[in-house]
Structure 1
Amino acid sequence: MRTWKLLTMATAAVAVTATAAVYANTTADPGPANTWTTAWAVPMQQPSIGFEPNWSLTGFADQTVRQVIRVTGGGTAARITLSNRYGPGDLRIAAATIGRTEDGARVHPDTLRPLRFGGAEAVTVAAGQQVTSDSAELRLAPFESATITLHLAEQTGPATFHAQGYASTFRAAGNRVADPDGAAFTEATHSWYYLSDLEMTGSTSTAGTIAAFGDSITDGFGSDNDADNRYPDALAERLAAAGTPRTVLNAGIGGNMIRSDSAWFGESGLHRFDRDVLAKSGVRTVIVFGGLNDIGFSEVDLPTYKPNPRVTVEQLIEGHRDLIARAHRAGLTVVGATLLPMKGAEYYNDTSAAKIRAFNEWLRTSGEYDAVVDFHAAVADPADPEKLNAAFDSGDHKHPNAAGYAAMAAAFDLATL
């Protein structure tokens, strides 16, 4: 992970209590098929400086935020969930719309629909809580994009967000939620704000959703902005091409660790697994890919990589066993992924290399996962398995590029999913 400047966080993590008193809308219209499945989701993070400029620390005031997301599962009606998990106070959504994306910040005019919350145009989301909208008619095919637009009329304070979106989010002054044109949206970042889920109903698909859980290599560091070529995207496309389409959710956070919480890199995998995987409607399979940062952060002394306790292979394995057990209790198939080579990266040394080898040997041979995907073998340099293949290296010697992410997606035996 690239080094960030150390900043004091504006807010601390807030536990979410899912009760009717704190959810602004717990009885949203279930839609025409009476079954909701998550078509897109992203983990929420504390506001912070990111890998590139974002608006999370300053928040918004009398501005409209327009966010574009690509679904891997379609349907005939949609609803969204907005999160104020890390907000310093109440979040007021003055108005919101949804529509099918045309290009950039432009929306197909005949698809633009208002979003209501318990029948109301506006909604207040208490600090630490979330809200789900009512159903809105919107026909989306798999791999089409939806545009969600929020008017934030009042000062929000620091914004709950997802740092590494690799997709353009746009901003305009005033209230532009009903404007299908993109001309007013003159600012952009590559993060997502408040938007944690889009669910669809009306799909004829009966295949279960796959959640890809991990760190920046799942999140897509090294992929191309607005190109949807992270490994979970490539996996969804491969499944569709094979005639076995399934929704694939990206539950990665850049810098995330299995065992340690971080102000920059999110709550640990152990702390967020239930929220970011098990709570998502329709999920039947989870791919667990994590541990490189647990191993590597302790090998460098940088403020970005704090906390960085020295994690043994045995401790990392215990963390994975915990996730396996929770997934199995929820009735999910759980697939383990080997850690990638990283020779030449800033936290590669003999100690970290030996831990990666030992962890990967356990994962390949223990039989504790229902299936294993060998990402390491898929992207390693044939002449030196400690290194990423140069054709797959984004440039930092640990994150793949788009070609590397495609190679990772190609490594799956689709039958095991």
Structure 2
Amino acid sequence: MISRTRTAFVATATATAVALALTAGAQASPAERHASWTAAWASAPQRPSTGFKPNWSEAGFDDQTLRQVVRVTEGGDRARIRLSNAYGSSPLRIESATIARTKEKGSASVEKGSLTPLTFGGKRGVTIPAQRQLVSDAGKLDLQPFESVTVTLHLSGTTGPATFHAQSFATSYRADGDHTADTGGRAFGESTESWYYLSGVDVGGSPAARTAKKRDGVVLFGDSITDGFASSTDRDRRWSDALAERLEKAGEPRPVLNSGIGGNMVLNDSAWYGEKSANRFARDALDLPGVGTVVVLEGLNDIGYSETDKPTYKPAPVVSARELINGHTELIRKARAKGVRIVGATLLPLGGSDHYGKHAAAVSDEFNDWVRTSGEYDAYVDFDKALADPRDPERIAPAYDSGDHLHPNDAGYRAMARAVDLETL
């Protein structure tokens, strides 16, 4: 039986964590409270699952340190992290956390002199209630766009199954015990290609320096093609990376955030592939700090799962073009209600893939025609034409095909970035 003292302690701790989650930044200094924050990197949280590659989400962690590497697309003189326990069944204890500049890609080492402790409401550790998220206090760390950042979390207790992002195409590391203050990577003997609990890195600066940059962030929202499936691990070759680099070279630098989830659908939830688009749209796109534009590329899984023999999403409903269009119309309505510009994208060619069939091909053609001609989106990007094989427009051009005839390779993701008329953003 739990004692009254213990019950009161748990209730108090939980209430404190909830307050932190709801009023993140309220205990910051006056300068921090008036600074504008911009999301510089983001990842969409998912339920624990076996996923595409081995991962640690279902087993969780027990007195271990988790070190994760991400690349920001915006700079600033301070940074904070966003942590998610959205799919946790119990409170998550973060005993300590640090952020640092990464020493080198493919390594758990960080740059000496850059290791910065993070606090939560002025405290070193924090407990995040189940199904909640929170934001850390600001940490003093100068970052430039396209720098890699290492976030380290000490998870002191047994976490249970972990909220995560299945496909990171970046290496994360694990060590036993507390190694948040290590600059070297020797202790981190285990690795995986997923992110855990970390859903964002935001940057900030002085009000004068950042006023002109409010709400210029671009979110790419979609499925595995947005997520970067088949791109090179630890090389930042997703189409979100390519678009951010193109904007920089064009003299129009803006943060570009990736909110893709492999296998995600517009119309249906999945234990493996995340909540359907409308249910996660606000959290993963519209509510990110500084966001002004969202580019939506989604629907191939809705129409393709009914064609495939793979058992990953069965039974798969047979989706009509009108149903898919209605799902996109709901996203448009939500974006406009938030004052966010929304850009649609045509679906890529899928001929020869396991998603291809007569029904999927017909729905894809009808949907793409709607994106091009309806005027419902504020603008559109025609990936269907940009990546099609001129000799067989039903297929991705061989130079852009990863080999499965569904996902682009690194060159294909660069071609997607080139297809965007930057004025549409």
Aligned counterpart, 1:16:
none
Letter of the 1:396 counterpart: D
Letter of the 2:18 counterpart: V
Contact 2:82 2:135 in 1 (8 A): yes
Q: Does 1:96 align with 2:97?
A: yes
Q: Does 1:180 align with 2:176?
A: no
Q: CA deviation at 1:278?
A: 1.1
TM-score by length of 2: 0.91
Aligned counterpart, 1:367:
375
SS at the partner of 2:395? strand
Letter of the 2:288 counterpart: K
Aligned counterpart, 1:397:
405
Aligned equivalents of 1:405, 1:21: Cα separation in 2: 40
Aligned counterpart, 1:164:
167
CA shift digits 1:11-39 (9 cap, x unpaired): xxxxxxxx987243524226546111111
Aligned counterpart, 1:74:
75
Aligned counterpart, 1:37:
38
CA shift digits 1:343-367 (9 cap, x unpaired): 1111211111111111111111111
Contact 1:78 1:137 in 2 (8 A): yes
Contact 2:17 2:127 in 1 (8 A): no
Aligned equivalents of 2:404, 2:413: Cα separation in 1: 15
Aligned counterpart, 2:122:
119
CA shift digits 1:187-213 (9 cap, x unpaired): 111100000111110174534000000
Q: 2:231 aligns with which of 223, 234, 247?
A: 223
1:41-56 → structure 2 map (5 Å cutoff) = 41-56=42-57
Point out the structure with the larger helix share.
Answer: 2
Q: Does 1:332 align with 2:340?
A: yes
Letter of the 2:398 counterpart: A
- Provide structure 1 residue ranges, at least 5 long, that are not aligned to the other structure: 1-18
Aligned counterpart, 1:350:
358
Q: CA deviation at 1:301?
A: 4.5
More displaced 10-residue stretch of structure 1: 107-116 or 215-224: 107-116
Aligned equivalents of 1:370, 1:27: Cα separation in 2: 33
Contact 2:85 2:92 in 1 (8 A): yes
More displaced 10-residue stretch of structure 1: 294-303 or 170-179: 294-303
Aligned counterpart, 2:9:
none
Aligned counterpart, 1:283:
291
Aligned equivalents of 1:79, 1:65: Cα separation in 2: 17
SS at the partner of 1:403? helix
Aligned equivalents of 1:219, 1:165: Cα separation in 2: 8
Q: 1:110 aligns with which of 110, 113, 117?
A: 113
Aligned equivalents of 1:155, 1:175: Cα separation in 2: 14
Aligned counterpart, 2:20:
24
Aligned equivalents of 2:19, 2:423: Cα separation in 1: 39
Aligned counterpart, 1:262:
270
Q: Does 1:309 align with 2:317?
A: yes
CA shift digits 1:152-208 (9 cap, x unpaired): 111111100000111110111111000000111111111000001111101745340
Aligned equivalents of 1:87, 1:128: Cα separation in 2: 6
Contact 1:24 1:118 in 2 (8 A): yes
Report the identity percentage.
Answer: 56
Contact 1:41 1:249 in 2 (8 A): yes
Q: Structure 1 residues 154, 237: CA separation in 2 closer, same or farther (over 3 Å shift)?
A: same
Aligned counterpart, 1:249:
257
Letter of the 2:125 counterpart: A
Aligned counterpart, 2:6:
none
Aligned equivalents of 1:129, 1:355: Cα separation in 2: 37
Q: Does 1:341 align with 2:349?
A: yes
Contact 2:223 2:260 in 1 (8 A): yes
The CA RMSD over aligned residues, in Å, is 1.4
Q: Structure 1 residues 106, 416: CA separation in 2 closer, same or farther (over 3 Å shift)?
A: same
Contact 1:210 1:248 in 2 (8 A): yes
TM-score by length of 1: 0.93
Aligned equivalents of 1:243, 1:135: Cα separation in 2: 28
Aligned equivalents of 1:290, 1:189: Cα separation in 2: 27
Q: CA deviation at 1:392?
A: 0.6
Aligned counterpart, 2:203:
200
Aligned counterpart, 1:237:
245
SS at the partner of 2:161? coil
Total equivalences in the alignment: 399
Letter of the 1:142 counterpart: P
Aligned equivalents of 2:242, 2:309: Cα separation in 1: 35
Contact 1:251 1:276 in 2 (8 A): yes
